[in-house]
Amino acid sequence: MFSAADLFANELLLFAGIWFLIGAVDDLALDFVWLINLLRGRGQARERDHADGGQPWRYAVFVPAWDEAEVIGDMVAHCLARWPDDDYRLYVGVYANDPATADAARRGAAGDTRLRLVTMSTTGPSSKADCLNRIWQAMTEDETGQGWRFDAIALHDAEDVVHAAEFQVYRRWLSDHDFVQIPVRPLIDRASRLVGGHYADEFAEAHLRKMPVRARMGVAMPCAGVGCAFRRATLQRLAGASGGNAPFATDSLTEDYELGIRIHEQGGRGAFVRERDGAGELVATRAYFPGDLRAAVRQKTRWMIGIALSGWDRTGWGGSIAEIWMRARDRRSALAALVIVAGYLGLLLWLVVAIAETLGLYQPAPPDPASRVLLVATGSTLVWRLIVRAACTGWNHGAREALWSLPRALVSNVIAVMAARRALQAYIASLNGAPLAWDKTRHRIPAAIGAQRGEPAAARPAMIGEGRG
């Protein structure tokens, strides 16, 4: 029994170690590119100092909402308070069989005419993309009636805490880009520091390190679906190409991710921008993410299906080496989950063998030199990855959360494994004709944000991927 455990432990750890080392080399390459770009990119800020001149743009802000009565009222009130100008309209998509959400949105607006409710003709829930397409169509109908067009469209979710200076950032960068993405900064709930908090670690690393690299390399920029804005003409081209005046892909679980790739394939340019307002606060979208394990697994399942599995079929691999590299990174989550399972199972069996050796029940063979080198290499790169993760979290959320990021790395792995199992099951079923369901998670929003006023509205220019959180 111990001999078999020893054999399986060695094989599993060898498999996990090789793939872990490949992934580590991939991450180290990204680290290198990021550091080089960071050192070379200081001049980008000056290019935007006067790029926001001219007349203010008109914005349509799309907010799809199904079963969001608990949060949409505060979100609407918050948006109208933080954006006091009249250069935008807040389009909230609701469903006829969900009157509570529509009523909550009206209460949040308190009669403000900048709110425009768009009621879906279908029974909810349909999908986020379906709701966004109906909002788009309602906006174009409004444009025909009012005799002028919006200049840009921004996307937000019903639980988002928006920033007062968003439109200023969009205006500067949309002058020569087709879409702009600002950082997403998850709020950390102390009652769910491990599950809900792991999103803060992942987004901190992605939006401090990964997205700036993509922006600098000129590859397709995935859209986060919140805190992003598009030139109206850009979405119009996508709507025209769809054949049904629908710029958002209703047959995708991650229409936001694909949107940036589709824009790139049509020759459009995307920008990921980190800027600070006049008070030094990061211009970012803030929101609570799922703090319950089951909800987090459901959300990660949807992301994994849309990006790593069905996204493989839908968006291909692009043309350049850099494009292939970035898309391979996006899609390695399913394989990474398998490697994690193999590694943890191998460690468990190794522990059994070690206990047996301590008790004198079994004498394992000493590891060969190659295995020792692999063990040292994977152990070193693991420590480096944890350091990078903690540094990114600390940059955005402080030293305390940087320390919390270490145990949260284990929680993140557990969630990834659980999500991978569900995602693979759903994807295999879809290959046999089963539809991919939109598995929505419940949301929450900080209390009384609608009453917040007087935040600084001026943003100062900053470089793409600025190395500050």
Strand 184-187 and strand 285-288: pairing?
parallel
Q: Which two tokens stand for residue 349?
A: 């069996």
Determine whether 402 is exposed, middle or buried from the number of CB atoms within 10 Å of its CB (0-12, 13-18, 19+).
buried
- At 224-269, the pLDDT tens digits run 999 999 999 999 999 999 888 999 998 888 888 899 999 998 899 9
- At 271-316, the pLDDT tens digits run 999 999 999 999 999 999 999 999 999 999 988 888 888 777 777 8
- At 80-127, the pLDDT tens digits run 999 999 999 999 999 999 999 999 999 999 999 999 999 998 888 888
Separation of alpha carbons 384 and 329, rounded Å: 18
pLDDT value, residue 182:
96
Strand 152-155 and strand 88-95: pairing?
unpaired
Amino acid sitting at position 318: G
Distance of CA 410 to the CA centre of its chain: 20
The mean predicted confidence, pLDDT, of the chain is 87
Polymer length of the chain: 469
Separation of alpha carbons 388 and 393, rounded Å: 9
- At 349-408, the pLDDT tens digits run 989 988 988 888 888 888 888 888 998 999 999 999 999 999 999 999 999 999 999 999
- At 175-231, the pLDDT tens digits run 999 999 999 999 999 899 999 999 999 999 999 999 989 888 889 888 999 999 999
Separation of alpha carbons 330 and 325, rounded Å: 9
Separation of alpha carbons 458 and 61, rounded Å: 19
- At 317-347, the pLDDT tens digits run 877 899 999 999 988 888 899 899 999 999 9
Separation of alpha carbons 115 and 124, rounded Å: 21
Is 457's pLDDT higher than 90? no
Strand pairing partners for 60? 89, 153
Looking up tokens 């803030």, which residue turns up? Answer: 286
Per domain, the residue ranges of the chain are 42-292+442-460
Q: What angle do CA 207, 463, 28 make, to 5 degrees?
A: 45
Q: Which two tokens stand for residue 259?
A: 């949107």
Classified by CATH at the fold level, domain 42-292+442-460 comes out as: Spore Coat Polysaccharide Biosynthesis Protein SpsA; Chain A (3.90.550)
CA nearest neighbour of 58 among 148, 118, 119:
148
Q: Which of 3-12, 42-51, 272-281, 303-312 has the lowest mean pLDDT?
A: 42-51
**3-class DSSP state of 434:** coil
Helices (H), 147-194: 166-173
Q: What is the DSSP letter of 449?
A: G
